[in-house]
Amino acid sequence: LGTHCQPSLQPWLSLEGDKTNFPKKGDTVHCWYTGKLQDGTVFDTNIQSSKPLSFKVGVGKVIRGWDEALLTMSKGEKAQLEIEPEWAYGKKGQPDAKIPPNAKLFFEVELVDIE
């Protein structure tokens, strides 16, 4: 009987941030992102929109993989995130967004601002 101790989030840095401004739990972050399924299908992106996604980080407003990753990113950083189902939408998936059950999700996220 062991506990599941595999990390549920695998971030890869694709562009370094300023390495000094990191969000804290409860800060509002502003991000550009693209989300893909394992087969490369884009299920969500805000790249074409006029303003970045804004939300309070670390308080459960987004999937856990995002909360955990963004708290480690600095302003201006761009990262590739590989998020296991248990830190994404799990067994239920997100049918409205065409995310199947138990889907591993892949995101490119750019942290553009922190308030």
106 is known as an active-site residue? no
> At 7, is the pLDDT very low, low, confident or very high (cuts 50, 70, 90)?
low
Catalytic residue among 67, 99, 106, 107: 107
Catalytic residue among 22, 43, 55, 114: 43
- Its pTM stands at 0.89
47 is known as an active-site residue? no
pLDDT digits (tens, 9 = 90+) for 19-42: 999 999 999 999 999 999 999 999
Strands (DSSP E) found in 1-115: 9-15, 28-36, 42-45, 53-56, 78-83, 105-114
22 is known as an active-site residue? no
- Residue closest to 73 by CA, chosen among 35, 107, 111, 108: 111
Q: Is domain 9-114 annotated with CATH 3.10.50.40?
A: yes
- Percent of the chain at pLDDT > 70 equals 94
Checking if the pLDDT of 4 tops 80, the result is no
C-alpha span between 113 and 45 (Å, rounded)? 18
55 is known as an active-site residue? no
Q: What is the mean pLDDT of the chain?
A: 92
- Amino acid (1-letter code) at residue 42: V
89 is known as an active-site residue? yes
39 is known as an active-site residue? no
Domain positions in the chain:
9-114
pLDDT digits (tens, 9 = 90+) for 71-103: 999 999 999 999 999 999 999 999 999 999 999
Catalytic residue among 44, 55, 113, 114: 44
